[in-house]
Amino acid sequence: MILTTAAVLSTLLVLSSAYPQQQYNRPQPFGAPAPSPLRQASPAPLAAAPGPQIGGVNPLAAARTLRQEQDNQFDGTFSYSFETDNGIQQSAQGSVKNAGTEQEAQVVQGSYSYTSPEGQLITITYIADEEGFKAQGDAIPTAPPVPEAIARALEYIRSLPPDPSQKL
């Protein structure tokens, strides 16, 4: 769970840093014209930026958004997707489950993918609902199987009658 949370947070950090930031409130020298938010310098090509290259792309260079779609509704349903020129893709859909009841919950399902430093495509799919965040993907480590002796011991403990002196 900690690794999954760390993976999601690191992906969100990468994605938020890839979004172009506009400098509206930057102080200007007296008498200088204010910068126009419509006029932005075009970023340098990713391959020309110095630094490590992964699959011909520099992961430290700013990414450009190639495609972005979003749809937000007043009833709590939404969907979005985007793709950047450094290979990051993400999409999600959400809705409200049991609206107006005590069991109301937001449900979100989606996926994201990126290229690892080793050049491997990593894809994670997830669902988040009233039962928590559950992710699946080959890059998520799995626990080793429980050794047979421990499994037998646990089964033996479960088979014992409850101890009346123990209060839970």
Cα 62 from Cα 84, distance rounded (Å)? 10
Number of domains in the chain: 1
Does the pTM surpass 0.85? The reply is no
- Domain assignment present for residue 73? The answer is yes
Question: In which domain, by residue range, is 81 found?
Answer: 2-15+50-158
Higher-confidence position of 154 and 35 = 154
- Domain assignment present for residue 24? The answer is no
Cα 93 from Cα 76, distance rounded (Å)? 10
pLDDT tens-digit map of 58-96: 666 788 899 999 999 998 899 999 999 888 999 999 999
- Domain assignment present for residue 29? The answer is no
Q: Which whole number is the average pLDDT over 43-49?
A: 49
Nearest 5 degrees, angle CA 78-CA 84-CA 90? 35
pLDDT tens-digit map of 118-165: 889 999 999 999 999 999 998 898 889 999 999 999 999 999 998 877
Cα 159 from Cα 161, distance rounded (Å)? 7
With tokens 């449900």, the residue in question is: 107
- Domain assignment present for residue 98? The answer is yes
- Domain assignment present for residue 128? The answer is yes
- Domain assignment present for residue 63? The answer is yes
- Domain assignment present for residue 106? The answer is yes
With tokens 């792309």, the residue in question is: 57
